[in-house]
């Protein structure tokens, strides 16, 4: 590449005029500045905008791309977490969505392979303000850009994420199209965004495992914070609607033997395994779009103790006769305050959901145990007569504190009481 040196001289008089009459002595060596820039082939020494995010409201956002190239459609949601972008990337509950990080600086800790919540990335794309040009972490194995490119996930940066977040808060979650294809016009991309809808799509079948398997890994000793070791071992069947690995690790750390089954696994086959309890996991999308999963939950409820997390919580709400609804922009982040109505304690929780259970539609006997203090929405349920507990957030996540980890202990206690009653 041809280069050309551009030289600038700065006199002491110029310096004095700008910075005062008594400047500190300056070495003559610093009076000449050299700027090198590329010439001849039209290239620039910095990346220029080469991507567009076109939202269904008609707004067009120019950006710079990293990761994979191409054109992708998805629902845009914002996440307020300050850390943990790798856990977010590998959370299956983000299938079909572009995740916009409100924290402006992303990529500075790189990627390591201990923090992944699934075996792949399921989100449609990543939208950030500033992409770190360097990484600094003792566990870093590769850069964020290389990681996304290897997994064919699109990312954009140098876009006004604050302005987009304000738009999403005002108008609600919006469908968008992300593209690096210059052959597509803005109007074509806008039409694509307006012709696609995430509502009513079964997304859990695309993220679930394909066959039953055993899970044995516990939380590594370096990260373990549960000082009370398990006394009894309970067999739990975990329905994989997009389950995060740390849910399984925490169950195993509490002494559970775990069998993971696909989302379409029949209730009759689960009951043949004679489990002590059943866990219905988190997962992406609309709970009303998966009636087969609701039917499975109906056929298990009342027969064994059950624990629902996020999607599992919503499916339990529907199975009990309640209704779910789509929230304006959902809850996505690691800093949501939740009040435990039984104890009065406030937990700082990690959340990722666009749907919620309407407690007014639930039958008598179902108790709201937790509420989100940001908007008063239902964040937890219990139905003692049916041995049911559920949470609309992630008790296994550690957004700083481990406030909600006790939920796994409560599930173990629920199974213990049931065994004592029936045994």
Query: Residues with catalytic annotation?
Result: 310, 394, 396
Burial of 204 (0-12, 13-18, 19+ CB in 10 A): buried
Give the Cα separation of 251 and 411 in Å (integer): 9
Give the Cα separation of 397 and 350 in Å (integer): 6
DSSP assignment of 174-203 equals EEEEEE--TTS-HHHHHHHHHT---TT---
Q: What residues pair up with 337 in beta bridges, in sequence order?
A: 348
404 in Cβ contact with 377 (< 8 Å): no
Cα R_g (the chain), whole angstroms: 26
DSSP 8-state symbol, 298: H
DSSP assignment of 106-161 equals E-TT-B-SSS-SSSS--BSEEE-SEE-SS---TT--B-HHHHHHHTT-EEEESS-H
Residues 6+ apart with CB under 8 A from 379: 338, 349, 370, 371, 372, 391, 392, 393
Give the Cα separation of 286 and 288 in Å (integer): 5
134 in Cβ contact with 367 (< 8 Å): no
């Amino acid at each position: 590449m041809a280069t050309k040196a551009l030289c600038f001289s700065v006199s002491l008089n110029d310096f004095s005029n700008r910075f005062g009459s008594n400047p500190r002595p300056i070495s003559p060596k610093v009076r000449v500045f050299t700027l090198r820039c590329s010439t001849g082939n039209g290239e620039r020494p910095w990346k220029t905008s080469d991507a567009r995010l076109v939202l269904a409201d008609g707004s067009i956002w120019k950006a710079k791309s990293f990761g994979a190239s191409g054109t992708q459609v998805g629902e845009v949601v914002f996440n307020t977490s300050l850390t943990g972008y790798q856990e977010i990337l590998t959370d299956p509950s983000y299938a079909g969505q572009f995740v916009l990080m409100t924290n402006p600086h992303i990529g500075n800790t790189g990627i390591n392979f201990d923090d992944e919540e699934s075996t792949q990335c399921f989100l449609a794309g990543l939208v950030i303000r500033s992409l770190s040009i360097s990484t600094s972490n003792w566990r870093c194995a590769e850069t964020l850009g290389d990681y996304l490119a290897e997994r064919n996930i699109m990312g954009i940066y140098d876009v006004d994420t604050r302005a987009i977040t304000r738009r999403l808060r005002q108008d609600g979650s919006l469908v968008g199209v992300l593209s690096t294809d210059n052959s597509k016009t803005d109007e074509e991309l806008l039409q694509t965004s307006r012709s696609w809808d995430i509502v009513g799509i079964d997304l859990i079948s695309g993220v679930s495992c394909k066959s039953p398997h055993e899970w044995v890994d516990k939380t590594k000793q370096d990260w373990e914070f549960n000082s009370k070791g398990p006394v009894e071992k309970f067999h739990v069947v975990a329905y994989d609607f997009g389950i995060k690995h740390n849910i399984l690790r925490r169950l195993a750390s509490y002494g559970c033997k775990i069998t993971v089954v696909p989302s379409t696994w029949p209730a009759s086959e689960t009951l043949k395994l004679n489990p002590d309890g059943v866990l219905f996991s988190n997962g992406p999308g609309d709970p009303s779009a998966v009636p087969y999963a609701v039917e499975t939950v109906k056929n298990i409820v009342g027969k064994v103790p059950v624990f629902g997390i996020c999607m599992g919580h919503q499916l339990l709400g529907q199975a009990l006769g309640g209704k779910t609804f789509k929230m304006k922009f959902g809850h996505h982040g690691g800093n949501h305050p939740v009040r435990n109505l039984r104890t009065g304690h406030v937990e700082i929780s990690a959340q990722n959901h666009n749907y919620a259970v309407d407690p007014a539609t639930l039958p008598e006997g179902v108790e709201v145990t937790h509420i989100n203090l940001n908007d008063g929405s239902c964040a937890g349920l219990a139905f003692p007569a049916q041995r049911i507990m559920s949470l609309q957030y992630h008790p296994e996540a550690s957004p700083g504190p481990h406030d909600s980890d006790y939920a796994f202990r409560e599930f173990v206690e629920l199974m213990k009481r049931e065994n004592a009653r029936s045994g």
